[in-house]
Amino acid sequence: MSLPEPLFALCVPTLNAGTAWHDWLTALQSQTQQPAFTLVIDSSSTDDTPALARAAGLQVANIARQAFNHGGTRQSAVEQLADYDTLVFLTQDAILHTPDALAKLVNALHTQPDIGAVYGRQLPHHGAKPIEAHARLFNYPQHSVLR
């Protein structure tokens, strides 16, 4: 008997995500395990970021650009998504690399009770400059680590 897939919510702050936003949305839609709810907190983008998110069926909350801060904006998401036991936070440029990326993150939390937080490996984006690529590859090696 297999366990049911855990319900989780996803939050992503955005600001003028540009052309990569389409890739982000496509990668999200290709996930084998989908969030029960996705909240996009948009800091008054002037491009199509909010419209594309809505067209993909995502909930968009608009905030003033000056109101954004990394901690406070994410805390606001925690409060808005309080009904969910598990929250996944992504950034607009964190394009999920494999269709099981979210499943791996969420299932690690639900199958190992001694784990309280997980994160995925960040890969350099296509066209990254050498120093950008080095930072990602150095800080996020290929092997998994349990701390």
Q: What is the arithmetic mean of pLDDT over 74-97?
A: 95
* Predicted TM-score of the model (pTM): 0.85
CATH number at residue 108: 3.90.550.10
Q: Is the pLDDT of residue 117 over 90?
A: no
Answer yes or no: is 143 within a domain.
no
DSSP 103-123: HHHHHHHHH-TT-----PPPP
Total structural domains in the chain?
1
Is the distance from CB of 20 to CB of 92 less than 8 angstroms? Answer: yes
Answer yes or no: is 2 within a domain.
no
Q: What is the arithmetic mean of pLDDT over 87-105?
A: 95
Tokens of 54: 């809505």
Which pLDDT score is estimated for 123? 66
Answer yes or no: is 136 within a domain.
no
Cα distance between residue 75 and residue 65, in whole Å: 16
Domain carrying residue 13: 9-121
Q: What is the arithmetic mean of pLDDT over 104-126?
A: 82
Q: Is the pLDDT of residue 147 over 70?
A: no
DSSP strands (E only) in the chain = 9-14, 37-42, 59-62, 87-89
Answer yes or no: is 20 within a domain.
yes
Answer yes or no: is 141 within a domain.
no
